[in-house]
Structure 1
Amino acid sequence: MTLWAGWGHASENPKLPELLHKRDIAFIGPSERAMWALGDKIASSIVAQTADVPTLPWSGADLKAHYSGKKIKISSELFKKGCVSTVEESLAAAKKIGFPVMVKASEGGGGKGIRKVENAEELPTLFRQVQAEVPGSPIFIMKLAKCARHLEVQLLADNYGNAISLFGRDCSIQRRHQKIIEEALA
């Protein structure tokens, strides 16, 4: 038996391929590890840094995972080093990065779990808002990218190491950090 989840929340949840695999159902899509490593905001930033892709300054800047030549291993200890779990930790990270910053819930999305912080006085309230909006989510601090575009690239890969870029999308038209329009080709 085989399952294709289409698009939306189920298709982006790393638990789906894991649960299907346990029931001997083939999942048409990425493995749970690949989905987590590239779908989680903290893990994907660590993967990018491991591949020497430039990233904005953030609370996990300079963290690199173990790369064996085939697989990237992000330990839970390494992942936690990119997170902030208290107001004090978030303030220290924000001061190191420099204001303005974004407080972001790793599991947030659709405009939830993200706040722009202009100065240290605003941070405690906005940090707690992010915590409340996405309960239990790891949180990180990232430098605000002013006047930036939100571009996405669709990739297609198989189990044999073949990969292609299908196209890019410009998702810069947003309201409250939530995409309104995805325009292709970017």
Structure 2
Amino acid sequence: MTTQHSERFVLRSGITLTPKQYERLDRLVSELAANTPAQTALLVDVTGQVVLAKGMSPQTNLAALGSLVAGDLAASQEIARLTGEYEEYQLVLREGRSSHTLIIPAGQYLALLVQVAPDTPLGWARLLIRKTARQIADTAATGHSTSVPETEALLQDNLADMFDDALDNLWSE
């Protein structure tokens, strides 16, 4: 999921997590999954790289799902910006028969997907998910962010192209 270098976890987005940060992220996502209760929880970086996965089926293509989560969130955020409705920590909600899917940014570099049962009170789940997203953002922000200017420019200028390429690659496999 993540690349480990010298006891640090390096993400493609340019952020580096210490083992202590990674353990805290794991604990936060596990607690959220238990308290919501979530059927699944997935933490990815903005490039779609999977950081943590809880409750996922072994058949789930995590690389594809991570890319789609990042792309969905980027598209939803851009729609909100274009329509003048953008705010930090906005949720994307997809209601389904067997589960409801909520996607939220967790700071500048991470995104969180949570699936809950349809009988889970959405207002309550939303509050817990938003609180956890903020805690994740705080955890990732403290410590070692090694984002380089090239990575930041890539994320800002070519994000749409990156997602288009990732989706094209998914369908051509």
Q: Is TM more than 0.5 here?
A: no
Q: TM-score when scaled to structure 1?
A: 0.28
Higher helix share: 2
Higher strand share: 1
Higher relative contact order (CA 8 A, sep 6+): 2
Larger Rg: 1
